[in-house]
Structure 1
Amino acid sequence: MSDKAAGLAVNNVHTNNKHSSITEILISALIYTLYTLFALLCIFPFYSIIINTISANDLSARGEIVFYPQQIHFQNYLDVFKIPGLWNAAVVSLGRTLIGTSLTVGASAFLGFMFSQEDMWGRKFWYRFTIITMFFNAGIIPWYLTMRSLHLTNHFLAYILPTIVAPFFIILVKTFVESTPKELQQAASIDGAGIMTIFFKVILPISKPILATVAIFAAVDQWNSFQDTLLLVTDSKLYSLQFILYNYINQASSLSTMVNLQNAGSTAMATLATKQTTTSIRMTVTIIVVAPILLVYPLFQRFFVKGIMIGAVKG
């Protein structure tokens, strides 16, 4: 009886393991299916815009391009690149993104490090004074009056100076620094290193994940910003690419007419397939503006998850 009972027990274990394996496979398949559908839902809007920019403009305008491109051409991009001020706006956006992101990352790294130092004079006051600006502000009109009094209207520095000190980024860096071993700073201090030496030679080298995370956030904010241009800039030489997009989306109909007139003598504009429409202008400019961020983001993605998790959880 004991041998028979042992055999039944073994069979039951194998049966349970088999059922468990099947259940796990089904659950995994369901999870992968849901995530795949979610990913497709996220990707599809970008895919839809891209195929509409390279398809026949008359079909795109009528909403007939849904899942795959038809009558593929690239005239839209050639025409949009002829839009007055586009290249200058691209240079302005690139400049503000590179300079603004660099200064924001540098300021966030240094202030986050300093606010983690217990012997800093007035540390709690200055930290709270900085953080409170996340929750309270005077509003757009006082902000505009302040910027005007500082002579930052129609000035490139209007894109840079207001974004250097970013409380949220400072919190991320401060939390990250506090999660690193204190012994590193103590050992450097015993060896005679000053506060700046500790910052540059100890903290910065081990802070690459969180700084990459801050760089992503800051770069996206700078690249996508257009409200500061709308409120502070009237000089077309200082227009950002996003502001150009904002204007062209609002004026796509007149812009398409202008582009068509410019190309009236070109054989490339002889068919409805390549004749500019409001839809083609809007979608093509959208891709041109969004593409740089889509290309750069994957390069920093490996730092992003690690940085945001370490910077958000202490310990």
Structure 2
Amino acid sequence: MARVKQSVSPAMRRTPGERVYNIFNIIFLSLFALICTYPFYYLIINSLSDNSAAAAGEVTLWIQGFHLENYKTVLGLDGMATAAWISVARTVIGTALTVMASAYLGFMFTQQKMWHRSFWYRFVVITMYFNAGLIPMFITMKNLGLTNNFWVYVLPAVVQPFNIILVKTYIESIPASLQEAAEVDGANTLTVFGRIVLPMCTPILATVAIFSAVGQWNSFQDTLIYMTDSKLYSLQYLLYTYINQASSIANSVKASGTVNAAMLATAATPTAVRMTVSVIVVLPIMFVYPFFQRFFVKGMMLGAVKG
């Protein structure tokens, strides 16, 4: 009778050197991940701990004296609801428009029949390397009527050359025979884009969406430059001012004569305000990113190297 060969798993065929390397690799990456995540963990546990202990630097690993009064204090500050709405609106609208513009322009720059395609592509790419500067940009926005206008958050960021390059490179990796077959069946350029190319670009568009959403959510300099109307302040700018004014906020809450303020007296410390504000800034993006993570690596790899 013929002997039946038993299959050996790849793990069993590894040499001692490979096993040592794998163990070292796992330990190193675990420590690296811990180093990356600990600052966020430190912010969270300090914002939820007893404020006197946090101010003294005694909270390092575990929550001490759990409470939520810090978040009640910060979220109750003037203008927080309006600023949060502005930030959410600019992030959603800005991300949607940026993804649409990047997808369409990236597709059009792959079409040989586009009028002066090479010229327009170079015209867009060259803006990555040259900038008129802050003052000319401000004058331009003012002449366009975009100062103290919500759309100044959205319109200047719609066309992003880097995102267009990623999408263009990704689309070039899609077999051209798909578009040719659709055109033989009578599909025009917009039909090919909407029904064939766009559904296949989910990974790279998710990558562009992450870049745009993070940029929009974290931006505060445009508020500093273009806005004087407090009703249009973004959440990041408002929290930035509150971080700089943490001591005065703590003192004003302590000096308040209401019963509620007395309850918040221990919560209203400069350290508590800074930690809580930082957590409020970071958490929304941390919750959004996992939903796009499975597309992110694939989109970056396929969008960076033509296959």
User: TM-score, normalising length from structure 1?
Assistant: 0.91
Report whether the alignment pairs 1:133 with 2:127: yes
Counterparts of 2:73 and 2:130, CA distance in 1: 45
Cα distance, 1:27–1:263 mapped onto 2, change above 3 Å: farther
Counterparts of 2:146 and 2:237, CA distance in 1: 18
Q: Describe how 1:295-310 pairs up with structure 2 within 5 A.
A: 295-310=287-302
Counterparts of 1:263 and 1:39, CA distance in 2: 46
SS at match of 1:165: coil
SS at match of 1:71: coil
Cα distance, 1:51–1:155 mapped onto 2, change above 3 Å: same
Q: Which amino acid is the alignment partner of residue 281 of structure 1?
A: V
Identity across matched positions, percent: 55
5+ residue gaps, structure 1 = 1-16
Counterparts of 2:137 and 2:17, CA distance in 1: 59
* Conservation of the 8 A alpha-carbon contact between 2:253 and 2:261: no
- Computing the radius of gyration from Cα coordinates, the structure with the larger value is 1
Counterparts of 1:228 and 1:137, CA distance in 2: 16
Deviation at 1:79, TM superposition (A): 1.2
Counterparts of 1:282 and 1:71, CA distance in 2: 18
Counterparts of 1:247 and 1:147, CA distance in 2: 24
Residue of structure 2 in register with 1:117 after alignment: 111
Residue of structure 2 in register with 1:25 after alignment: 19
Q: Which stretches of structure 1, 4 residues or more, deviate above 6 A after TM superposition? A: none
* Conservation of the 8 A alpha-carbon contact between 1:212 and 1:300: yes
Q: Which amino acid is the alignment partner of residue 100 of structure 2?
A: G
Report whether the alignment pairs 1:269 with 2:284: no
Residue of structure 2 in register with 1:288 after alignment: 280
Counterparts of 2:14 and 2:305, CA distance in 1: 35
> Given the alignment, which residue of 31, 35, 47 partners 1:37?
31
Report whether the alignment pairs 1:215 with 2:209: yes
Q: Which amino acid is the alignment partner of residue 176 of structure 1?
A: Y
Q: Describe how 1:77-116 pairs up with structure 2 within 5 A.
A: 77-116=71-110
Counterparts of 1:262 and 1:43, CA distance in 2: 37
* Conservation of the 8 A alpha-carbon contact between 1:260 and 1:275: no
User: TM-score, normalising length from structure 2?
Assistant: 0.93
Deviation at 1:20, TM superposition (A): 5.5
More helix by share: 1
> Given the alignment, which residue of 175, 181, 189 partners 2:183?
189
